[in-house]
Chain A
């Protein structure tokens, strides 16, 4: 490989990455500096974390969750990880190995919850038993367990690895539907309320190309392959559409998302469904719910009564994990 003219914007040394949205190239050292600065800026600007917080990071073994955990530790925070074993065949086995290796290599505490062991089902079985899109059963299961482990463990903040692309894609989908109630709660910080822990997204100022680059530069091994149940989902299609725009108009994703946060989100304050709801407690597990029994307990009851379903049986082209 012959290096051509790209120079780091900061030190003029050979660049390893070009970032069109910053109209700049960076060497490894100054790319990492940029990432730290962007994450610190998000944490400070949105008041995500304090030094006294007990932090729990939702870890999947993919690039974003390992990057956010690594960045928080790098920035001097203490944080434990939580891995949920979803039972999606080899994909879950491999992702768990990446999460464990990351934690073990850094002496970090990783909590593991396996759906099959703790609740008697896995995501392929839940999808089949409930006739839900796999992503729906997956998202509901993870959210419930994240909340439960955070609250039971007295963690004050739950951190997720959602990045700028994730947020822009969700915003894009909600905007296509003008789904005001979901738009109203699409914020980088959700404060603790009604039995839910505070949730924050420190990577909202980094694209997923940047979080992947962070992992490569830092030598973090992560699961590159896509979830076999996610192929063809809408979220991926929205990301592809936004990246087509981004390629010809760098910075579009950031302006789409952050101008929404600055200009539209304040106008929608109080419009989220949850804002007006009086939540009770699930009679079975105690989690917040509008009904007598929460949706997660309904899912567990149905899925755990069903014979285990191998992932191959619910993989279908054009159906996905979200």
Chain B
């Protein structure tokens, strides 16, 4: 699947199927600091992502508050 990451913006390819939590763990990303959007829709941690999905991992932490 295509996985879009931010800060800096980049795209990587990860093999599916894979649960959202497992994807974040593989990328060593804290799930409290990120949301996962699959094909334009928010998905919970136990959703399974497939090879043809387009996934965005969106960081939610901002430092300018």
- Chain A contact residues, CB within 8 Å of chain B: 1-6, 15-18, 20, 25, 28, 60, 62-64, 135, 138, 161-163, 165-166, 207-209, 211-213, 216-217, 224-227, 230-231, 233, 235-236, 239-240, 243-244, 246-247, 320-322
Contacts and interface: CB of A to CB of B under 8 A. Distances in A.
A233 B47 CA distance: 33
A135 B64 CA distance: 8
Contact of A162 (B17, B35, B49, B65): B65
A62 B62 contact: yes
- Which 9 A/B pairs are nearest by Cβ-Cβ distance? A230-B63, A166-B65, A212-B60, A236-B63, A18-B44, A243-B32, A16-B42, A6-B44, A2-B48
Nearest to B32: A243
Interface string B49-65: 11001000011111111
Contacts of B33: 209, 239-240, 243
A147 to B, nearest CB: 17
A240 B37 CA distance: 21
Nearest to A209: B60
Contacts of A135: 64
Interface in B1-55: 6-7, 9, 17, 19, 30-35, 37-39, 41-50, 53
A135 to B, nearest CB: 7
A239 B61 contact: yes
B64 A208 contact: no
13 contacts: A1-B38, A1-B43, A5-B46, A6-B46, A16-B44, A17-B44, A20-B32, A207-B32, A209-B60, A211-B60, A212-B58, A243-B61, A247-B30
Contact of B46 (A4, A63, A230, A321): A4
Given A5-B46, A225-B6, A243-B61, 11 more contacts: A1-B43, A16-B41, A16-B43, A17-B44, A28-B42, A63-B60, A209-B33, A212-B60, A216-B35, A216-B42, A226-B59
B42 A217 contact: yes
Contacts of B30: 240, 243-244, 247
A236 B61 contact: yes
Given A63-B62, A208-B60, A230-B64, A3 B47 contact: yes
B10 to A, nearest CB: 13
A211 B65 CA distance: 13
A165 B61 CA distance: 8
A239 B42 CA distance: 23
B65 A163 contact: yes
Contact of A2 (B6, B17, B59): B17
Nearest to A203: B65
Given A1-B38, A224-B6, A321-B64, A6 B47 contact: yes
Contact of A209 (B32, B43, B46, B48): B32
B64 A322 contact: yes
Nearest to B34: A209
Given A212-B35, A216-B35, A243-B32, A322 B46 contact: no
B45 A18 contact: yes
Contacts of B42: 16-17, 28, 213, 216-217
A92 B48 CA distance: 37
